[in-house]
Amino acid sequence: MGKDLYEQHEQAKALFESANDILGFRITDLMFGGTEEDLKQTKVTQPAIFLHSVILAKMLGDGFKPAMVAGHSLGEFSALVAAGALSFENGLDLVAKRANAMQKATESQPGAMAAILALSDVVVEEICAEIDDVVPANYNCPGQLVISGSIAGVDAACEKLLEAGAKRALKLNVGGAFHSPLMESAKQELQAAIEGVDIHVPICPVYQNVDAIPYQEPTVIKENLIAQLTGAVRWTQTMETMLRDGATQFIEVGPGNVLQGLVKKVNRQIPASSANLQDA
């Protein structure tokens, strides 16, 4: 993961080595040669995805000037670095603290998440409102909404949602109720770190998860980053707003191509592609 960047670009190699120092362990060893279990550790997963995304964006050079940016959950931190609002070092430090805070919250209050397929958002919202400790967490695309909450609450919601006509209610392989009130302790832990970090005016609007609205005011960006831990990721709404605001092409910067698929579910006509080293 990211080994091609490390081997082909001196600047990328320097950034990866800097990350090893910041994190206090050689994350590159785990990214380039670790097992799947190694990479699934929360303290590794989030920084690894952040590093791959941010370093690839930097390797695209001065010609990479997005007109607008957005990131899904953790990706919002990468988007802020790509837009010049956060430094690489501060972004990585926040991501590491976020990962640790979320891990602790998961251990103190285990939870669950489930992807609900082929049911309207309104129906999912209504059923979640009837059950304690369950909320809509990730509005990924039309017909795919992830719910989050207590284990018992998510199980009960899945049963009701299937009865209401959902095609599937797929429990996710996570130990925590991310983007739900059960992350309140993580939110409080991260709040001081976010409030104390320097965030600059980004070079372009940043469409933030909590309300799918573009921002460039650092104070508001911070508030939304803090709220993100317990708030929903409104990705469907973000894509729709970006399209209304004139987006004509989406480039996914980072590992995988999941976001491109979600864009296509919102609007099949819009070009969506992956950034790669050939663009650098």
Q: Which domains does the chain have, with CATH numbers?
A: 3-107+181-279 (3.40.366.10), 110-171 (3.30.70.250)
Beta bridge partners of 250: 272
Of 108, 89, 83, 84, the residue nearest 47 (C-alpha): 89
Structural contact between residues 209 and 231, judged by C-beta atoms closer than 8 angstroms: yes
From 9, 52, 72, 179, active-site residue: 179
Phi–psi pair at 268, nearest 5 degrees: -70, -20
- HSE at residue 44, side-chain half, CA atoms within 13 A, is 18
The gap from C-alpha 237 to its chain's centroid, in whole angstroms, comes to 15
Q: Could you read off the pLDDT of 175-184 as tens digits, one per residue? A: 899 999 999 9
From 53, 73, 78, 148, active-site residue: 73
Is residue 250 pLDDT above 70, yes or no? yes
Task: Give the length of the chain.
Answer: 280
Share of the chain above pLDDT 70, in %: 98
Of 99, 112, 124, 125, the residue nearest 43 (C-alpha): 99
Q: How confident is the model at residue 42 (pLDDT cuts 50, 70, 90)?
A: confident
Q: Could you read off the pLDDT of 145-158 as tens digits, one per residue? A: 999 999 999 999 99
Is residue 280 pLDDT above 60, yes or no? no
State the pLDDT at residue 278. Answer: 56
Q: What is the pTM of this model?
A: 0.95
State the pLDDT at residue 277. Answer: 60
- Burial of residue 279 (CB within 10 Å: 0-12, 13-18, 19+) is middle
Tell me if residue 72 is catalytic: no
Mean pLDDT of the chain, nearest integer: 95
Of 88, 95, 79, the residue nearest 204 (C-alpha): 79
C-alpha to C-alpha distances, 181 to 37, 60, 65, 234, nearest whole angstrom: 28, 38, 36, 16
Share of the chain above pLDDT 90, in %: 91
Three-class SS of residue 113? strand
Q: How confident is the model at residue 95 (pLDDT cuts 50, 70, 90)?
A: very high
Q: What distance in Å separates the CA atoms of residue 245 and residue 240, rounded to the nearest whole number?
A: 9
Where residue 75 falls (left for φ over 0; alpha for ψ -120 to 50; beta otherwise) is: alpha
Place of tokens 């739900």: 180
Q: How confident is the model at residue 121 (pLDDT cuts 50, 70, 90)?
A: very high
State the pLDDT at residue 1. Answer: 87
